[in-house]
Chains A and B, each alone.
Chain A
Amino acid sequence: MQRGIAHKYEKDNIDTDVIIPGPYLKIMDPNELGKHAMEGLDVNFIRKVKDGDILVAGNNFGCGSSREHAPIALKHAGIRAVLALSFARIFYRNCIDGAHLLPIEIDREAYNDISDKDELEIDIEKNEVRNLTKKRVYKIKPFPELIKKIIDAGGLLNYTQ
């Protein structure tokens, strides 16, 4: 179960170049990467985020490059889950296989309902997101079987077939 404050960016196609800009790709220290998370979109991002918080965004979140620096930077900035209308595929894989954070697809209704700074709770066992501020519950699609197993194992490297 994840509980945290929502940081909502009402934008589609938030790409890896804004999540962690190219010049930082040579950095391998995750905490250092975390200091530059979302720098291309919002320079105040890391000051706003507390450990355990949740990012909310539109369609095709994480499009662009295959850099695993993107979910790593978000995680080390404190983000534990991203709720988006849809995800770019490599970003999605990286989140799951690297066990960095939970990528959760939400529908348009939930997306419109969630406001910036709402307190949310994610429950992937019951397949729901609860909005504690607004006292509402949003249903989410269950993860495909293999993906759920990889999440439960704590990432692909811990998963044995």
Chain B
Amino acid sequence: MNITEKILAKASNRSRVEPGDVVFAKVDKVMVHDVSGPGVITVLKELEKRGKRVEKIWDADRVWITEDHFVPAVDKIAAQNLVMLDKFSKEFGIEKHFRYGMGQYGICHTLSHEEAMVLPGEVYVGGDSHTNTTGALGCFATGMGHTDVAYVLLHGKIWFRVPETILFKMNGEIPPYIMAKDMILKIIGDHGTEFGNYKAIQFTGEAITNMPMEERFTLTNMTTECGAKNGIIDPDQKTIEYIRERRPDAKFDLIKSDSDAQYHAIYEYYVDELEPIVAKPHSPANISTAREVSNIEIDKAYIGSCTGAKYTDLLAAAKILKGRKSKVRLEVLPATQSIYHKAMKNGLLDIFMDAGAVIGPPTCGACCGAHMGVLAKDEVCVSTTNRNFPGRMGHVESKTYLASPQVVAASALKGKITDPRDI
């Protein structure tokens, strides 16, 4: 069996599972944020209206809450939702609630690994589609809607159809100026946005072994844009060290794919051949090389989100921006408070500010077109985020180009889409 099958078999108490089997699996961790949380609470309230009072949830220690989409509270409704979340976590004794303005907080998927909220070998359900991100820790991580998450809160388990797994072997040495973002955009461009629908996408190969943990999360993050149920990477020494640094006492099961594991399809990539890539409007699959679109003028460069505002993303952008000035609006929003703090201590924020950037607090904000820098009609943005559907980052007639932090930084310097090798 491969890693996804082994985790689901264990969680459903079976010795074996096959793709297509429908199982009820035990869940280890659940997350809701300031959008899905109120949605889940609404589902539970509906149950009460029908006479089923919810007095306790299955296991408060396995539930954690983030405030990320509409913080700092955008308006009265958003503020009210946070009050609702606060009451909920107090009522049910959920202690792991990352409140903004109270120390560590940030974007849920980044916190999931930054705080080691989820461990290798676990089954993790999040009320957000990019929950796939966390699978780079070697766990089964998948996003669900309010009703499903409410069910998990009540019963600690949920149904899954065991997915077929598509394996991507990433061979070769990663060239300078190439990041995980270029790899995943290339994969989505080659295969489209629905080839992974209902399936697991697993990454392996020497490029994966050699890449820092934070880069691995960029790959699994955007398996969501392939339609995948989960993205996953077999845990290795780097995974163990990453977890140990954060939670020295954590106990977990290191589950890895068997050597004779079966895959639905296997694709090989040679990363040595890759060039910096962008995804043009309005689909993550609409790719070309950065050089092919270097005539496109931009209004804004955005470095933010669970995809592109981890510490290594900020570092990669800062190396290019150092000592230079941005020609366009440059917005930098570190993904979590801890990353913000580290960037400050290590001088990255000085580099960004010297380049002219505005630095915002951790928030989803503009990534989902909600607040904190949305795009106007006809504005063009190059962004480290993961989606560029019409209206995703603001007006439906705005345009977003998705790219790596290095391409975004280089583009900011020239005011046009730019290959970082041309700076």
Chain A residues proximal to chain B, CB less than 8 Å: 13, 15, 17-18, 21-23, 25-28, 40, 59-60, 63-69, 86, 88-90, 93-94, 97-99, 144-146, 155-157, 161
Contacts and interface: CB of A to CB of B under 8 A. Distances in A.
Which 8 pairs, one residue from A and one from B, show the smallest C-beta to C-beta distance? Answer: A68-B145, A94-B145, A98-B147, A22-B368, A66-B129, A60-B194, A68-B146, A66-B143
Interface size class of B (residues with CB under 8 A): 35 or more
Interface of B: 22, 24, 34-36, 38-39, 42-43, 47, 69-70, 74-75, 77-78, 81, 127-129, 131, 143-148, 150-151, 154, 159, 161, 193-194, 197-198, 227, 229, 283, 368-371, 387, 389-392, 396
Contact of A157 (B144, B151, B396): B151
B193 A26 contact: no
Given A17-B392, A66-B143, A146-B159, A156 B128 contact: no
A73 B235 CA distance: 40
Contact of A27 (B34, B47, B77): B77
A84 B351 CA distance: 49
Contacts of A28: 38-39, 42, 81
Contacts of B229: 89
Nearest to A15: B389
B197 A60 contact: yes
B151 A59 contact: no
A90 B129 contact: yes
A42 to B, nearest CB: 11
B150 A64 contact: no
24 contacts: A17-B391, A23-B369, A26-B69, A26-B77, A28-B42, A40-B396, A60-B197, A65-B128, A65-B368, A66-B127, A66-B131, A66-B144, A68-B147, A86-B194, A88-B197, A90-B143, A94-B145, A145-B22, A155-B147, A156-B147, A156-B148, A157-B147, A157-B151, A161-B24
Contacts of B198: 89
Contact of A25 (B24, B148, B370): B370
Contact of B147 (A18, A40, A60, A94): A94
B144 A90 contact: yes
Given A21-B369, A98-B147, A13 B70 contact: no
Contacts of B368: 17, 22, 25, 65
A17 B35 contact: no
B77 A65 contact: no
Contact of A64 (B43, B129, B146): B129
A59 B81 CA distance: 34
B387 A17 contact: yes
A39 to B, nearest CB: 9
